Amino acid sequence: MAARPSWQGYLRLSLVSCPVTLFTATSRAGDVSFNMLHKDTHNRIRMVPTDPESGPVDRADIVKGYEVEKGRYVVLTQDEINNVKLETTRSLDIERFVDAEEIDRLYWNDPYFLVPDGEMAVEAFTVIREAMGASGKIALGRLVMHQRERLMALEPRDLGILAYTLRSKDEVRSAEDAFASIPDVKPDKKMVEIAARIIEQQEGDFDPSQFTDRYEEALRALIAEKEEGRTIKAPEAPKATEVSDLMEQLRASLGEGAKGGARRKPAARTGAAKAKRATGRAAPRKKKSA
Same domain for 254 and 110?
no
Same domain for 110 and 21?
yes
Res. 22: pLDDT tops 50? yes
In this prediction the pTM is 0.72
Q: Is residue 281 part of a domain?
A: no
- Give me the mean pLDDT over the 212-224 stretch: 83
pLDDT in tens, 64-87: 999 999 989 999 988 888 788 777
Q: Is residue 11 part of a domain?
A: yes
Q: Is residue 231 part of a domain?
A: no
Q: Where residue 141 sits, what CATH number does that domain have?
A: 2.40.290.10
Res. 287: pLDDT tops 50? no
Confidence of residue 23 (pLDDT cuts 50, 70, 90): very high
Neighbours of 14 (CB within 10 A): 8
- Give me the mean pLDDT over the 98-124 stretch: 95
Domain boundary pick from 147, 171, 195: 171
Same domain for 15 and 114?
yes
Domain boundary pick from 171, 191, 224: 171
The residue that leads in pLDDT, 177 or 264, is 177
Instruction: Look at residue 44 in the predicted model and tell me its pLDDT.
Output: 93
Q: How far is it, in rounded angstroms, from Cα 269 to Cα 44? A: 53
Same domain for 111 and 193?
no
Same domain for 88 and 140?
yes
Same domain for 12 and 147?
yes
Same domain for 193 and 164?
no
Same domain for 127 and 199?
no
Domain count, the chain: 2
Q: Is residue 34 part of a domain?
A: no
Q: Is residue 288 part of a domain?
A: no
Confidence of residue 134 (pLDDT cuts 50, 70, 90): very high
Same domain for 102 and 201?
no
Confidence of residue 283 (pLDDT cuts 50, 70, 90): low
Domain range for 195 is: 183-205+250-261
Q: What is the mean pLDDT of the chain?
A: 84
Instruction: Look at residue 290 in the predicted model and tell me its pLDDT.
Output: 39
